Structure 1
Amino acid sequence: MNRVFKLFKVRDVPVKTLKRKYATVKTANVDWSPMKSKKQLSQNIEFSGTKSRKVFFGLLCLAPIITFALGTWQVKRLKWKNQLVAECEDRLTYKPIPLPKNLTKEDLPNLEYRKVLVTGHFDYSREVYVGPRLHDGKKGYTLICPFVQSNGSGDVLLDRGWISADKVVPQSRNLQHLSCPKGEITVECVVRVAPTKGIFHLDHEKHSKLYQYLDADAMAEELGTKNVYLQVLQNFHDRPEWLNNESKLSDTVNDAVAKTSSWAFWKSSPKIDSSKLNNDNDYHPDIIDTSKPFDTADEFDPLQFINAGVPLGKVPKIDYKNNHMNYLVTWYSLSVASTILLIYMFKKGRFLNPTEEKMMYAKKIID
C-alpha cells in the first residue's frame, strides 16, 4: 500500500478511492490457449439435432400405424366380449341342472354362469374368508366353505357370499338353519371361472383362514377340494326344509323373534303363545306355517340377513366388464390425431436440413 502512495504521490487520498479509480493489474478476459478439437461445436450441435429429429420423425410416422392396429385389435376383442356376454346371459335363463360328477377345471369355461344344483353338506371346520370387503359401507368378508357332495364326486368350493365382520364365527350367527344349515341340503349355484393369481399378488400364508384375494388354486390345494368354484345364488326365502327335526321348533321360535323385531316398526308384532309350543306336531299359525309353499310372507329382507349373519349370495347377473368400445375409440382417435400432425409437419416443411436453414437465414440477413 505504501508503494502505491509513493508511486502516485497522493498520500492524502483514501485507499478506497484509489482502488476505485486506478487498476494496478490487468487480466486478460480471453483464454488464448483453448482446447483443440477436430470437430467444431456447431458441428456437434447440428449432428445431435439431426439425430433427434430423425428419431422423432420415425416415431411420428409409426404412431398412426401402431394406433390403428391397436384399434383394429380392440374391434375383435369387442366382438369376442359381446359374444361371451351373450352366451353367459343365455345360460342364466336355463333351468338348473345337477352338477356333473366328472367336472374339472378345464370344463368350467364352457359352463360359466350355468345354474347347477349341488346336494350334500357344508364342512364349517374348513371355512375361509376373502377380504375385507365393503357392502354398503359396512366391513365384511366373502365366505367360502367346502361342500361335501352326497354322490361321492368330491368336495367343491362354494362361495356363499358376503357376511359382516362380526358374524364370521359360526356360533355368533342367528337363523342357524339358513346361516349354518346342517345335514344334507340342496343348494342352487352358478358355475364360475375363478380369477387367477396376478403378478403383484402375494402368496397366501398357509394355514391361515384369511385370503387377501380369491385364489381358488391355493384354496383347493390347502382345503383338499376339487378346483371347482361355485357361487351360491342370492335367495331371501325361508328354508324350513333345512331345519333338523330335533332343532326345528327352537329355530322356528328364533325366526319368529327375529321377524318380530323387524316387523315391529310398521306392523303389530305377532304374539307367541308358549302353551302351543309343547308339541312339535302342533300347528303354530303365529310363528311360521311350514305346511304351505313359499310366498312373500316367508321372505326376509337383506338387512335381516346381514344382522342375523346369513351370507348374501350371488346376484344372478353377468359381472364381465366390457370397456373395449372405450379402448377402440381411444386408439382410433390417436391414430387420426397423429396422422393429422404428420401431414401438418410435412406441409410446413419442418424436416429441412438444419444447414440449409442456417444458410437461408444468413442470406436474409446479408440481403
Structure 2
Amino acid sequence: MKTTLFAFRFTRSTRLTSLRPALHTRICPKCKLSSPFQRRYAHTPADDPYFQSIVDNPAVLVKSGQKHGPGLIVLILIPAIAFGLGTWQVFRLQWKTDLIARFEDRILKPPLPLPPRIDPAAIKDFDYRRVVTIGLLRHDQEMLIGPRVHDGNDGYLVVTPLQREGIASKILVNRGWIPKRLKRQVDRLAGLPTGEVTVEGLLREPWKKNMFTPDNKPELGEFYFPDVEQMAKFTGSDPVWIEETMAPDLLKAYDREAVGIPIGRPAEVNLRNNHTQYIFTWYALSAATAIMFWMVVKKPLPDSIRRVRQNKEW
C-alpha cells in the first residue's frame, strides 16, 4: 500500500509539472486572455500577458511639494500692511493730540489786537489765536458759502469783508450761520449792522478743499468752499480769515436764527480726532488676517497630494 500511494503522489506531481508548459500557452478562445491560474504559475514577469514595463507605461511627474498658490503671498501681505497702518495711526494720534493741546492753549489766552499789517505766511503760527479788531462791515460784498447744515437745518455761512478802522485794506470775516429761508438780505435786515463794529474771533489758517467739493463760481455768487485766496482776490481783501465767535447759548442762538443774525461758532477747537478708532480697526484687521494665514498654512494636505507623496515610496 505504501508503494501504491507513493506512486500515486509521484504520478500526480508529474502530471502537474507536465501541465505547466501547456497552461502557459493555453489562451481562452473568446477573450484571448490567459486565466489567473496561468499568471500564478508564470516563471518571469514577461510570461504574464498583463505585465507592463516602464517603457509601456512611463511615469508621470506630479508636483507634490507645492501646497499653496500665489494667493498665499497676498494673504501674508495683508496683516503686515494692516499692522504698519495701525502703527502709523499711533504716531498720527500723538501728533493730533499735541496739535489740539497747542491750539487749546492759544484759545485760553486773552484776545490779541490784530496788527495793522499781517503777513499771510505767519498765520500758520497763530492758527486758533483769539484776536479782536474794529471796522466797517461791507455788506455790499457779502458772500454766502453753502449749503451748510446747523442742527439739522440747511443754511449758509455769511462771509463779509471788514474795512478796518484807519487801514485801507480789508480782511474776511466768517460771521456765522443763517438759515436758508433768510438767504436774501432784505429778509434779515436785523443781521446787517451799520457803522463800526467790534469783531472778536479766531484767526484761522486757510482751509483746504477736498476732491468732492465743486469749484466756486464768484461771478455767479456761488461759493461752495471758503477758498480764502480766491475770495480775497474777488473782494479786494487781504487773504486773512477770521471766524467770529460767540458764547454757547441755546436761547440766544434761537433768537438770532429767527431774525437772521449769523450764529457764530464757539471759541473751541473742533478738529476731528478719530485716530483711536483707526488704530483699533487696523490692528484688528491685522490680527484677523494673521489668524487666517496660520489656518491656511496649518491646513491638512489634500488626499491627492498625500497619495502622491506615498507613491514616491514605491
Does residue 193 in structure 1 map to residue 205 in structure 2? Answer: yes
Aligned to 1:341: 292
Does residue 60 in structure 1 map to residue 75 in structure 2? Answer: yes
Alpha-carbon offset, residue 58 of structure 1: 0.8
Alpha-carbon offset, residue 102 of structure 1: 3.3
Is contact 1:104-1:227 (8 Å) kept? no
Does residue 116 in structure 1 map to residue 65 in structure 2? Answer: no
Aligned to 2:196: 184
Alpha-carbon offset, residue 159 of structure 1: 0.3
Aligned to 2:19: none
Question: What secondary structure is seen at the aligned counterpart in 1 of 2:219?
Answer: coil
Deviations, residues 193-241 of structure 1 (Å, cap 9, x unaligned): 232122233222231223122222321222221211110012599xxxx
Aligned to 1:331: 282
Does residue 359 in structure 1 map to residue 308 in structure 2? Answer: yes
Q: C-alpha distance in 1, partners of 2:263/2:284? A: 43
Root-mean-square deviation over aligned CA pairs: 2.9
Taking structure 1 as reference, are residues 236 and 325 closer, same or farther at Cα in structure 2, changes over 3 Å only?
closer
Deviations, residues 25-72 of structure 1 (Å, cap 9, x unaligned): xxxxxxxxxxxxxxxxx99xx99xx79x43211112222221111111
Q: Which 5+ residue runs of structure 1 have no aligned equivalent?
A: 1-41, 238-298
Taking structure 1 as reference, are residues 57 and 183 closer, same or farther at Cα in structure 2, changes over 3 Å only?
same
Aligned to 2:246: 234
Q: C-alpha distance in 1, partners of 2:293/2:167? A: 68
Is contact 1:127-1:209 (8 Å) kept? no
Normalising to structure 1: TM-score of the pair? 0.61
Question: What secondary structure is seen at the aligned counterpart in 2 of 1:140?
Answer: strand
Aligned to 1:305: 256
- Alignment partner of 2:162 out of 147, 151, 160: 147
Question: What aligned pairs does 1:86-97 form with structure 2 within 5 A after superposition?
Answer: 86-97=101-112
Q: C-alpha distance in 1, partners of 2:277/2:223? A: 33
Alpha-carbon offset, residue 174 of structure 1: 4.4
Taking structure 1 as reference, are residues 206 and 185 closer, same or farther at Cα in structure 2, changes over 3 Å only?
closer
Question: What aligned pairs does 1:1-367 form with structure 2 within 5 A after superposition?
Answer: 53-152=68-167, 154-175=169-190, 179-234=191-246, 301-349=252-300, 356-357=305-306, 359=308
Alpha-carbon offset, residue 107 of structure 1: 2.1
Q: C-alpha distance in 2, partners of 1:137/1:60? A: 44
Question: What secondary structure is seen at the aligned counterpart in 2 of 1:338?
Answer: helix
Taking structure 1 as reference, are residues 163 and 70 closer, same or farther at Cα in structure 2, changes over 3 Å only?
same
Q: C-alpha distance in 2, partners of 1:208/1:143? A: 16
Larger Rg: 2
Q: Which 5+ residue runs of structure 2 have no aligned equivalent?
A: 1-59
Deviations, residues 288-335 of structure 1 (Å, cap 9, x unaligned): xxxxxxxxxxx9722221121111011122111101011111111122
Q: C-alpha distance in 2, partners of 1:310/1:150? A: 23
Corresponding letter in the other structure for 1:191: L
Is contact 1:102-1:153 (8 Å) kept? no
